């Protein structure tokens, strides 16, 4: 496919707000793509050059792209900057400065993709200059519209209003003309979250054969299985039958991938699929505690205060993310991995086995001591046992319990009544029994004392498919330190225009928009119906609990979950 044809599809997608129409356009694009280029087409349409877990990013700030645009079109940097400030978009500035006569007919999508990958992977001494030069050379060969979209891709600002979920629908549509295979494809994606590879497999072999090839692979993260909420232990037993009750820890969810031998490795992934192995240098010795050549373990990493030898809270554990003075941080905060599940053993897929069978294999595979502890588990069919264990765990300092269906398979995501959490939320008094993970959408400038913070209130929303819908504004309950930290984070993701995926009524338009990247955990007294919030539900007396750096926007609370919480409080 010529790059100019691909660009026309991007224009159509940008001009479309209907999710169904976006799906149809993407399906048409995928149909026209060859087997060799379909994965590249998928990634470029999503504004990147690799699946998220590979962490292939351009690391080019606005200033660098402005320099590349100036160099590409023989303009002064000041001229490009002035136009950028006027347009609020480097891509639009590039479009205006590019030459009308250029066309991408001599470029294939694969060629442009490979050039972008080369720019992204360039590192080391002098890499910034080389990146600018390479991008300038590419831009100089493109049309006006092509230059616009390439600038946006490099800056991570393509955002055409859809995510991997819509691409999965489009893959189904490509084959069947509808979304009938979306659930099957989504389950495969959750096991191997590479939507480009998924599209390629389906293009080559069809849905059934393409999905059949996908199983957990050491070194590629699996989307984690997540817990639902139910109102009472009686409901849990009624819906789940025989269960296993585990302690709920206040740690960092970590999927550990281990492979031994000459080319062996250890990798750690957070629940939003970011590799953070550097946070846990202790894992290099994990071979001493594993009776296997390769394994994928699900665990909770819990910090240990080296002075008191007691478990640290989530915020303390997250201090290990600091790359500055990392050695000192590691000395202050030790670590223990509480392992509770196993997904793969020596290349064998264990996800289809029932929970109790996986537990048996886990106990034989992991040797406790040093790095690892197995999360305790108690089997029961009696609601009172769940209540007693919950009270016991709260007294022992745990968050509560996780109740797991005894014969459930490991199914990524939050589906069915397989895992249910029961935790104490001191901040959420009254009726609301759990906190909510929300996406920060924008903020208003501060007044009075908050003028110095730069933030008065911030708007948050929840996820409904590819849309983010408002549910509350928060402006009270934050400490001065939290206000300052919030402003620092918002400055990094501020944008001039409302992101396409946001649904906001005019009552809640903020002074400043931000990209959907920051997730916060919030508590509230209760949920109420709201005609003015686009979620249709609002949070009463909301307050910030903490920043959830371990979660991406796709893991925020969904509208379906919020409705479930609303039903539970009645």
Helix axes 77-87, 90-97, angle to 10 degrees: 120
Residue 56 to residue 58: CA distance in whole angstroms: 7
- Measured distance CA(560)–CA(436) in Å, rounded: 12
Cα distances from 227 to residues 132, 248, 309, 412, 570, in angstroms, run 45, 11, 29, 10, 21
Q: Comparing C-alpha atoms, which of 477, 507, 511, 506 is closest to residue 494?
A: 511
Q: Is 527 helix (H, G, I), strand (E, B) or coil?
A: strand
Distance (Å, whole) CA 198 – CA 342:
24
User: Cβ distance 167 to 45 under 8 Å?
Assistant: yes
Phi/psi of residue 230, nearest 5 degrees: -130, 155
The angle subtended at Cα 358 by Cα 392 and Cα 421, nearest 5°, is: 35
Calpha distance 401→392 (Å, rounded):
10
- Three-class secondary structure of residue 148 per DSSP: helix
- Token pair for 65: 């792209």
Q: In whole angstroms, how large is the CA radius of gyration of the chain? A: 25
Q: DSSP states of 223-275 as a string?
A: PPB--EE-S-HHHHHHHH-SEEEEEEPSSEEEEEEEE-STT-EEEEE-TTS-B
- Residue carrying the six token digits 């060799």: 36
Task: Select which of 115, 131, 248, 423 is catalytic.
Answer: 248
How wide is the angle at C-alpha 101 spanned by C-alphas 95 and 106, nearest 5°? Answer: 95
At residue 137, the 3 state secondary structure works out as: helix
467: annotated active-site residue: no
Q: Cα 537 vs. chain centroid, distance in angstroms? A: 24
Q: Tally Cβ neighbours within 10 Å of residue 487.
A: 17
Q: What are the catalytic residues?
A: 248
């Amino acid at each position: 496919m010529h790059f100019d044809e691909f660009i026309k599809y991007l224009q159509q997608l940008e001009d479309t707000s209907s999710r169904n129409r976006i799906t149809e356009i993407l399906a048409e694009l995928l149909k026209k793509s060859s087997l060799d280029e379909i994965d590249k087409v998928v990634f470029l349409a999503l504004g990147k050059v690799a699946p998220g877990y590979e962490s292939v990013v351009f690391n080019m700030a606005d200033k660098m792209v402005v320099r590349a645009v100036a160099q590409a079109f023989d303009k002064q940097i000041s001229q490009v900057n002035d136009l950028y400030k006027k347009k609020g978009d480097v891509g639009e500035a590039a479009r205006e400065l590019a030459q009308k006569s250029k066309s991408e007919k001599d470029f294939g999508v694969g060629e442009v993709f490979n050039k972008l990958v080369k720019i992204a992977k360039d590192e080391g001494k002098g890499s910034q200059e080389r990146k600018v030069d390479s991008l300038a050379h590419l831009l100089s060969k493109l049309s006006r519209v092509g230059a616009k979209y390439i600038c946006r891709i490099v800056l991570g600002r393509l955002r055409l209003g859809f995510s991997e979920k819509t691409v999965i629908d489009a893959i189904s549509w490509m084959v069947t003309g509808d979304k009938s295979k979306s659930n099957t494809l989504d389950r495969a994606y959750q096991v191997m979250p590479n939507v480009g590879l998924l599209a390629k497999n389906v293009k080559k072999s069809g849905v059934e054969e393409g999905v059949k090839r996908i199983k957990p692979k050491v070194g590629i993260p699996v989307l984690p299985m997540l817990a639902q909420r139910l109102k009472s232990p009686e409901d849990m037993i009624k819906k789940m039958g025989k269960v296993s009750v585990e302690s709920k820890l206040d740690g960092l969810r970590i999927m550990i991938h281990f492979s031994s031998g000459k080319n062996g490795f250890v990798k750690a992934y957070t629940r939003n699929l970011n590799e953070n192995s550097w946070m846990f240098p202790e894992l290099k010795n994990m071979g001493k505690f594993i009776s296997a050549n390769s394994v994928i373990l699900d665990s909770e990493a819990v910090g240990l205060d080296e002075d008191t030898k007691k478990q640290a809270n989530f915020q303390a554990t997250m201090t290990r993310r600091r790359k500055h003075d990392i050695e000192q941080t590691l000395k202050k905060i030790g670590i223990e991995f509480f392992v509770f599940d196993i997904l793969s053993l020596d290349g064998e897929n264990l996800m289809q086995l029932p929970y109790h069978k996986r537990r048996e294999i886990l106990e034989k595979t992991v040797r406790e001591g040093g790095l690892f502890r197995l999360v305790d588990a108690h089997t029961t069919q009696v609601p009172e046992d769940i209540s007693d264990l919950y009270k016991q765990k709260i007294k022992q300092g745990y968050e509560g319990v996780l109740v797991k269906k005894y014969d459930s398979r490991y199914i990524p995501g939050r589906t069915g009544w397989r895992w249910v959490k029961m935790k104490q939320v001191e901040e959420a008094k009254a009726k609301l029994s759990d906190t909510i993970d929300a996406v920060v959408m924008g903020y208003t400038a501060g007044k009075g004392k908050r003028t110095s913070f730069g933030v008065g209130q911030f708007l948050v929303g929840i996820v409904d498919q590819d849309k983010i819908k408002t549910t509350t504004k928060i402006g009270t309950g934050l400490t001065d330190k939290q206000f300052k930290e919030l402003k620092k984070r918002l400055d990094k993701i501020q944008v001039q225009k409302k992101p396409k995926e946001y649904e906001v009524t005019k009552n809640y338009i903020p002074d400043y928009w931000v990209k959907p990247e920051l997730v916060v955990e919030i508590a509230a007294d209760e949920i109420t119906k709201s005609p003015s919030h686009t979620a249709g539900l609002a949070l009463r007396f909301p307050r910030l609990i903490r920043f959830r750096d371990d979660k991406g926007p796709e893991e925020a609370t969904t509208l379906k979950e919020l409705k479930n919480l609303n039903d539970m409080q009645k």
